[in-house]
Amino acid sequence: MSILVTVLRAASLLAFAGPILLTAGGRDRKRSTGADRRRGDRIPVLANFAAFGLFFAFLAGSAGNAEGLAALLLALCGCLLALAGAALVLWSRAELGSAWSFVPMADQGTGLVMTGPYRLVRHPIYLGLSLLAMGEALAFSSWPAVAVVFSAIVPTFVWRACAEERLLADTFGERYAHYRKQTKMMIPYLL
């Protein structure tokens, strides 16, 4: 049983590979210049990195026992949650296409994306990454890592989303205000 738990834990970690590899891509900077492109604040992005650094330190340092039915169930549920989170990130990133950038940017040339997962929430990538982190914490039976998800990762994503929303509101004006009224920030139908 411990081998299966180890395989599920490894699969949950590998789920991070897809979204991380996408950071090598990004916005085509040659496409637009000047006043129609606005750059967001980098501080929330740095806070995200710090939160994930803390998360992975706790994940590695406090993995629970790999024996028993409870460990297997947590590893299975965590792995499935991590894979679902990764799938949401990949789908959201594909929907953004050239509008995606690591540091928040808003550009009239790429437009406001409101299709795919963006029909349900304004920040599905942050939701997906939160689910991915929570899945890994569960797969590893790491309660300190679960605490970091709720106390550091999710709050930094909310901070980052709020910073992006100011940028998008400045760039897209009334169109973004209407979209914002129609969709929730990160959790469909709730928040």
pLDDT of 24 reads 56
pLDDT of 110 reads 80
pLDDT tens-place string over residues 81-133: 999 999 999 999 999 888 887 777 787 888 899 999 999 999 999 999 999 99
Q: Is residue 53 domain-resident?
A: yes
- Residues 153 and 148: their CA atoms lie apart, in Å, by 6
Q: Is residue 187 domain-resident?
A: no
pLDDT tens-place string over residues 39-59: 777 788 888 889 998 999 998
- Examine the pLDDT at 36 and tell me if it is beyond 60: no
- Examine the pLDDT at 180 and tell me if it is beyond 80: yes
pLDDT of 22 reads 65
Q: Is residue 78 domain-resident?
A: yes
Q: How many CB atoms lie within 10 A of CB 82?
A: 28
| Rounded alpha-carbon distances, angstroms, from residue 170 to 42, 72, 105, 159 | 17, 48, 11, 17
Q: Is residue 188 domain-resident?
A: no
Q: Is residue 120 domain-resident?
A: yes
Exposure pattern of 19-43 as b/e (b: 16+ CB <10 Å)? Answer: beebeeeebeeeebeeeebeebeee
Q: Is residue 137 domain-resident?
A: yes
pLDDT of 23 reads 61
Q: Which domain covers residue 147, as residue numbers?
A: 2-22+37-182
Number of domains forming the structure of the chain: 1
Q: Is residue 178 domain-resident?
A: yes
pLDDT of 30 reads 43
- Examine the pLDDT at 28 and tell me if it is beyond 90: no
- The whole-model pTM stands at 0.86
pLDDT of 158 reads 93
The arithmetic mean of pLDDT across residues 125-149, rounded, is 95
CATH assignment at residue 88: 1.20.120.1630
pLDDT of 55 reads 92
pLDDT of 116 reads 95
pLDDT of 34 reads 47
